[in-house]
Amino acid sequence: AQSVTQPDIHITVSEGASLELRCNYSYGATPYLFWYVQSPGQGLQLLLKYFSGDTLVQGIKGFEAEFKRSQSSFNLRKPSVHWSDAAEYFCAVFTGGGNKLTFGTGTQLKVEL
Amino acid sequence: GAGVSQSPSNKVTEKGKDVELRCDPISGHTALYWYRQRLGQGLEFLIYFQGNSAPDKSGLPSDRFSAERTGESVSTLTIQRTQQEDSAVYLCASSLASRAGGGDTQYFGPGTRLTVL
């Protein structure tokens, strides 16, 4: 069965520092990959997605992610973090059948001023 | 435009009671999903509706859980005889379901926080 692993439960970075959130998936073929962000009291908002083509995907709010098939990874990056980026980030994979998404357990990002 | 809305935003109930959670999808979205998010965990898929097709109920954890959807509009998730382990945030999402291979972007509502005492 497909699975998504986000190895970092909590990450703290200073404002202005770079950020990388890790995501690894388990699936036999090329999956469709997503990153969502959840701010307190808010629903999930899509940051970016990868279906095919260019393995470096640009998203909203200055985020990007790179699909690396050899590493089964889809890490999320941002060159300079803002205090408003503090939130929980979820990686998800769609692998066909039922159109449901399988989510990782999330990474809680804290930004120090 | 209007996003996915859910009601109530919070629900506190006593163990053994039934609860109904409501989801209003984005107008025109044919697909609707329910997920459960337990504290400190990722989202668990519960059920998926697509048009007039039979729903995918593969994620429902027990027969105490059921969901209905009227056409391509409102959906209700019902939990009967609630247990403390049902305490979670229940999230609804909708999508256009326009991609033949699936993987459409899902738009999420703010969720209903259910607390079972």
- Answer for the pair B22, B74: CB distance below 8 angstroms, yes or no: yes
Give the torsion sign (CA, B47, B48, B51, B54). Answer: negative
- Say yes or no for a CB contact (<8 Å) between A105 and B41: yes
List of residues 6+ apart from B72 with CB closer than 8 A: B25, B28, B29, B30, B51
Residues belonging to chain A: 113
- Say yes or no for a CB contact (<8 Å) between B110 and A101: no
Split at pLDDT 50, 70, 90, the class of B60 is very high
Q: What confidence tens digit (pLDDT) does each residue in B20-43 have?
A: 999 999 998 989 999 999 987 888
Split at pLDDT 50, 70, 90, the class of B52 is confident
- How crowded is the C-beta side of A65, counted as CA atoms within 13 Å? 30
- Label the pairing between strands A24-26 and A3-5: antiparallel
Q: How far is CA A17 from CA A82, A83, B97, in A?
A: 9, 11, 38
Give the torsion sign (CA, A14, A20, A26, A29). Answer: positive
- Answer for the pair A85, A109: CB distance below 8 angstroms, yes or no: yes
pLDDT at A96: 66
Average confidence (pLDDT) per 10 residues, chain A, 113 residues: 90 97 87 91 88 91 95 96 96 77 93 95
Peptide bond into B8 cis (omega under 30): yes
Going by C-alpha positions, the residue among B76, B68, B65, B79 that lies closest to residue B6 is B76
Distance between CA atoms of B33 and B75, rounded to whole angstroms? Answer: 9
Query: Would you call A40 exposed, middle or buried from its count of C-beta atoms within 10 A (0-12, 13-18, 19+)?
Result: exposed
Of A36, A49, A99, the CB nearest to B31: A99
Split at pLDDT 50, 70, 90, the class of B70 is confident
Least confident of A62-66, B9-13, B44-48, B95-99: B95-99
pLDDT at A59: 96
Q: Is A94 on the interface with B (CB under 8 A)?
A: yes
Residue B100 has pLDDT above 60, yes or no: no
pLDDT at A111: 97
pLDDT at B98: 61
Q: Is A50 on the interface with B (CB under 8 A)?
A: no
Of B35, B102, B110, the CB nearest to A42: B110
pLDDT at B75: 97
Backbone angles phi, psi at A85, to 5 degrees: -80, -10
Mean pLDDT across chain B, nearest whole number?
91
